[in-house]
Structure 1
C-alpha cells in the first residue's frame, strides 16, 4: 500500500510539474510580442543570470567578439536581466555611430557611473545637460589651444622634462608608467588649470595615481557584476575601494579648483576652470534658473576631461615604448627616418607629413593596443530599425571597437603588428576609415586632435633620443603583450631600458 501511495505521489508531482511548465509556455506565447521576433539573434539567456555563464567578464570584449562570429554583426546578450545589443565590425559600427548618429547617440549610464558621476559632467550625461556642457568644453578647450600651436608648445616643453626623467635611469630598467602619465597629464592640466605640475608634487601624484587606479577597477569583473546586480553592493570590496578612489580623485581636483577660485580674475582667464567660473558668475547675476554652470558639473567636467586626457594617451604611449622594444627592427626604421629627416632638431607637428613611417607606426600601435576595446555603452534614443532588426528605445548598445580595429575584411593582417597597414606602395601615409581608436559619431573623444598631437610629439622626441630595449637577460620574445584588465587596457607591468642614442652612437642630437 505504501508503494502504491509513493507511485501515486510521484505521478502527481510529475503531473504538477508538467502542468506548471505548460502554463509557463502558454504565458510566454500569449504575452510574447511580435516585435520580439524582429530583435537581433543571440544566445538563449538563463533566468536571472542571463548569458553570464558563457561570458568572461575579465575579457568581455573578447567573449563578445567571439559570439559575433556565431551570431553576426548585430546580436544581443543578457547581462543578468539586462538586454544589450552588440555591434561588431567596421561597417556595422560606422552605420550606427556615424550614419545613424542621433538614434545611437545617447549614453547608457551604468550603476557604477551613477555612483561616481552622479549624472553630471559630459561623458556620462544626456539631453540638454550634455549638449550645453559639451559645447562649452569644446569651445573653451579650443580657445586654450587644444590641438593647435599653443598646445604644441606645451607638449614640446613637456617632452624635455620627460626626457630628463628617462635620462636619470642611465640605461637601467625602469617602469615607464608614472613618468609617462605625469607628462601626459601635465598637457591637459595646463589647458584646464593654466599651469603644469612638477612630477614630485604630491597632490599632483595623488590626482594622477587615483584616476589610474579608478580606471583599472572600473573594468574589473566584480564591478561588472555590480552593474548587473546593484543589490550586491554591500558585499563588494572592489566597489568600496573604487568609490574611495573616486572620492580621492575628486578631492584633489577640488583643491585645484578652490585655489583658482580664490585668485579668479574675469579679465585674465587662465584655463577651462576660470572660463567655467566666469560663466557661472554670469549665470548667477542674470538670475538664470537651472543653470548647468554649477559646482558639481564643474567637478565632473574636470574629472571627465582630466581622466580622458591622461589615461588613454598615457596608456597608448606606454604601449608605444613596449612595442618598440618588442620589435627592434621596426624601431630601427623609425630611428633611421627620424635621423634622416630631423637631424638634431626637435620634432614639431609639421614634421608629421615628412615622417610617414613613424606616423604609420604610431597608428598601428593605436590599432593593436586597442586601449578602449568596447568604448563606453551607448543607448538608443528611439525605436530603431537597423540592419533588418528592431532595437527598441532605451536599449543599451555596445559598439565593439576591438572588432573594428581587428576586422579581417579591413586589415590585411589584423592580428599582426604591421605598420604597412597605413602606408601605400610609395611609402606615404594613407587614411583608413576603419581606424577608430577614438570611437566615432556624436560621442567621439573630445580630445582626439590633442591626443594625436601628443602621441606624435612624445613618441618622436623619445625615439629620437633613446633606444628602448628589454631589461638585461630578457629577450624581445619574452616581453609580455598581455593587457591588464580595465576599462582602459594598459600593458602588463614591465620595465624597459632607455639607452641614450647620442652616447651609444656618438650622434649629435
Structure 2
C-alpha cells in the first residue's frame, strides 16, 4: 500500500472513530440522569431503553419496572428521559397536588413536525390556557355536558340501530359504524353537520385516523423521536403516519375554508364559527393562538378525541357482552324494567339503572383505552417523593397502574361490574376510576363521553342481543398504538 493511500485510510478511520466518540459523549452529556433523579433500568447510549421495550406491551412492562424500582421511576423512551408515576395514590398526589406544575407538554419531534406547538393537545403555557378556556366555554354553549345535547345523541342512536338492523343478524365488523356514529356527535358541535354512514370519503378519513393512531406506537415512530434528522430521510411507517395525519388536517382545513365563505359573526353555528369570531376580537393578541392554522389543529384535536376513545370503549363493550352473555342478559333485564321497549333510554334513566351504569364503568376500567396517558412536562424544578425533577422533564402517569391497582380493586384483572356496586346493588363511585385522567390536563370531553357511552350502550342493548359468529370464541386480544383497542372482530346483532 503506497503512502498516500495509507494516509487516506487513516483519515477515514480517524473520522469514524471521532464521530462515534462524539456521538457517545454528546448522548451521555445530553441524557445523563440529573442528581437525585428517580431510578430505572440500565440504558444503552443513543437508543436508551429501546432494547428493553416491546411497544405492543409497553404499559405492562412499565408495571414490571415499578415492581423493581418503585412507584416513581425513570425510563428513556420516545427519545426522552421520562419520569413514570405508578399506582393510584402516587398519580393522584402528583397530578392534583402538583397539577399546576404539570400543565405543559414535552417537545416530541413526531408531534411537533405534524402539529407544531399548536392545538389543544400539544400546546403549552399561555396559548394552551387560552385555547382550553375558549374550547370549554364554546362547547358548553352548544350543549356539552347539558341535557340540550341529548336529542342529538338520540338521533345518532336511531341512525346507528337502523344501520345495524340492515345486517339482519349476519356477522359483520361494527367498528366503522361505531366510529361514524360517535364522530357525528362531535362533528355537529365542531363542523355543524353529521356525515352519512354511506359517505365513503368520511369513512376513509376515519380509517386513516385509526391507522395513524396505531402507527404512533410503532418502533419506526419512536426512532423518529430519537433521530428525526435521520429518520426523515428514510421510508417506513412513520412516513405513512405523517401522510395520514396530513390528510386529516387537509380535511379540516377545507371545512374551515367553507365556513369562512358564509360565516356570520352574529349567528355562530358551531365551534369553527365561534373561533373565527374570536380571531377578530383578539387579532392583536397573537400569543393567544387565535389564527387559522391553530384553528385547524384545535379542530383536529376535538374531532379526533371526540371520536376515537369513545368508539373504542363501545367496541370493547360489545366484545365483553359477547364474552359474558349472562352480564349482557342482566343489563337487558334492567333496561326492559326501567325503560321498556317503546322509547329510547334517557340520561334521566341512569340513576335508576345502577347495574348498566356499573357495567359501562367496568368496560372503561378494564378496556384501559389510554394505558400510559399522554406525557406532561414540569413547568419548574419540583420534588416528587424523595426525588428531584428538573424543569422541562417529561412525566407520565401510568393509568394502567391506577385502573388495575391491586390495593384499590377487589379483582383488578377480572371483568367484574361489582367493582361499582355496593352491598345493596346501588351504583358506587370509585376514587381510582380515572380513565379520563385528572388534574389540569384532565380530558376536556369527559362529560360528553359519559353521556355518549350511557346512551349508545343502553340503546344498543335495548334493541339487540350481541353474540359471536357460530364456532368463534370472543378474543380480548388487543393492538396498541396511542390507544389500546381490540383486534378487529365480527359479531351478530339479533333484534330483540
> What RMSD, in angstroms, separates the aligned Cα atoms of the two structures?
1.8
Deviation sequence 1:79-131 (CA, Å, 0-9, x none): 38631111011001101111110122221231111111111111101011101
| Distance (whole Å) between structure 2 residues aligned to residue 61 and residue 235 of structure 1 | 28
Structure 1 length-normalised TM: 0.89
Map of 1:235 onto structure 2: 234
User: Which residue of the other structure, out of 474, 479, 487, is the alignment partner of 2:474?
Assistant: 479
CA contact (8 A) 1:129 1:292 kept: yes
Q: Where does 1:122-133 land on structure 2 (aligned, <5 Å)?
A: 122-133=120-131
The aligned residue for residue 491 of structure 2 is 496
Match for 2:347 among 346, 349, 366?
Answer: 349
Provide the residue aligned with 1:258 in structure 2: 257
CA-to-aligned-CA distance 1:358-411 (integer Å, 9 cap, x gap): 000000000000011011111111111111111111111111101100000000
Match of 2:18 in 1: none
**Structure 1 portions without partners, runs of 5+:** 1-26, 502-509
CA apart distance, 1:283: 3.0
Aligned to 1:406: 404
8 A contact 2:48–2:76 mirrored in 1: yes
In structure 1, what is the Cα distance between the partners aligned to 2:399 and 2:285?
Answer: 41
CA distance in 2, matches of 1:368, 1:67: 21
* Alignment partner, residue 388 of structure 1: 386
Distance in 1, Cα, partners of 2:402 & 2:288? 39
Per-residue displacement from partner, 1:185-208 (whole Å, max 9, x unpaired)? 000000111221211223422332
1:328 aligns with 2:312: no
Unaligned runs of 5+ in 2: 1-24
- Cα distance change, pair 36–111 in 1 and its aligned pair in 2 (3 A): closer
Listed one character per residue, the Cα deviations across residues 10-37 of structure 1 (whole Å, up to 9, x for unaligned) are: xxxxxxxxxxxxxxxxx9xxx9xx9945
Shift of 1:494: 0.5
Residues 206, 252 of structure 1: 8 Å contact kept: no
Q: What CA distance in whole angstroms lies between the structure 1 residues aligned with 2:151 and 2:181?
A: 14
Residue 291 of structure 1 and its aligned partner are, at CA, apart by 5.1
Check the 8 A contact 1:222/1:236 in 2, yes or no: no
CA shift in 2, pair 1:431/1:289, >3 Å: closer
Q: Distance in 2 between matches of 1:141 and 1:169?
A: 35
Decide which moves more: 296-305 or 97-106: 97-106
Structure 1 CA distance for aligned equivalents of residues 427 and 45 of structure 2 = 51
SS in 1 for 2:212: helix
Contact 1:51 1:80 in 2 (8 A): no
**Residues 442-461 of structure 1 mapped to structure 2, 5 A cutoff:** 442-461=440-459
Change in 2 beyond 3 A, CA 1:220/1:81: closer
Deviation at 1:324, TM superposition (A): 0.3
- Note the C-alpha offset of 1:210: 2.2
Q: Does the 8 Å contact 1:35/1:390 carry over to 2?
A: no
User: What is the TM-score when the length of structure 2 is the normalising length?
Assistant: 0.91
Q: Deviations over 1:316-373 (max 9, x none)?
A: 0111111101110100100111111111221111111000000000000000000110
Give distance in 1, aligned partners of 2:300 and 2:141: 20
- 1 CA distance for matches of 2:258 and 2:340? 43
Aligned to 1:103: 101
Question: Quick check: 1:364–1:422 contact (8 Å CA) kept in 2?
Answer: yes
Q: How does 1:75-224 map to 2 (within 5 A)?
A: 75-79=73-77, 82-224=80-222
**Equivalent pairs, count:** 466
The answer on 1:299 being equivalent to 2:328 is: no
Aligned-partner SS, 1:268: coil
- Taking the aligned partners of 1:126 and 1:288, their CA distance within structure 2 comes to 16
Q: Distance in 2 between matches of 1:302 and 1:339?
A: 39
| Cα gap change, 1:100 to 1:291, in 2 (>3 Å) | closer
In structure 1, what is the Cα distance between the partners aligned to 2:423 and 2:232?
56
Distance 1:83 1:212 in 2: 28
Mark the structure with the bigger radius of gyration: 1
